[in-house]
Amino acid sequence: MIKISQKLKDQLWWLVISVDYDYSRITIADHDLNDDSLTLWLEDKHDFKNSLEECLQVDIPAKHFAKLIKGENLNSYEGCKMHPTKNFVYKARIEINEPLAWYMEDASFTEQQWAREAVLKLLLTQLIETETTSSEIW
């Protein structure tokens, strides 16, 4: 779960409303990953901006991004391992690398894009679910 400030919630709702609740229109214009955070700049696919300053900037802590990569099994695959002493084969998840190291060093361009889109999907899902469950329905 990503902690979303009230200001960011308001900005995300504005973006959701501006795309007429068509979430597929929200796209990642650019991104940046450093040791502390993943920064995503969001925009409407039907209303491209001239600069990043015009886009909605979302900062996600790097540890949350790492948890998402691990939770979605993006940095691992289903495979077979040999037990070290008993000589039998069993199925297991085989980790390619630590989540952020996998993203930076091992992931293809497409896999990196999938990881960023998973963050966007989680962010929007969390926004919608928390707002609809917290509001009272008469």
Residue 16 located in a structural domain:
yes
pLDDT for residue 111 is more than 50: yes
Q: In the numeric block, which tokens belong to residue 138?
A: 């008469």
Residue 80 located in a structural domain:
no
Residue 102 located in a structural domain:
no
Please state the rounded mean pLDDT for residues 117-130: 88
Has this prediction a pTM greater than 0.95? no
Q: In the numeric block, which tokens belong to residue 82?
A: 């040999």
- Is the distance from CB of 19 to CB of 4 less than 8 angstroms? no
Residue 84 located in a structural domain:
no
The Cα 60–Cα 47 span in angstroms is: 24
The shares of helix, strand and coil residues in the chain, as percent rounded to the nearest 5, are 45, 25, 30
Residue 35 located in a structural domain:
yes
The pLDDT of residue 64 is: 92
How many separate domains does the chain show? 1
Residue 90 located in a structural domain:
no
Q: Residue 35 gets which letter from DSSP?
A: S
Digit-coded pLDDT (tens) for 57-106: 999 999 999 999 999 999 999 999 888 888 899 999 989 999 999 999 99
Digit-coded pLDDT (tens) for 19-52: 888 888 899 999 999 989 999 999 988 888 778 8
Residue 68 located in a structural domain:
yes
DSSP of 94-124: EE-S-HHHIIIII--HHHHHHHHHHHHHHHH
Residue 119 located in a structural domain:
yes
Tell me the residue range of the domain where 50 lies: 6-72+108-134
The pLDDT of residue 115 is: 95
φ/ψ (deg, to 5) at 3: -75, 125
Note the Cα 83 to chain centre separation in Å: 34
Q: What one-letter code names the amino acid at 120? A: L
Q: In the numeric block, which tokens belong to residue 21?
A: 């609740």
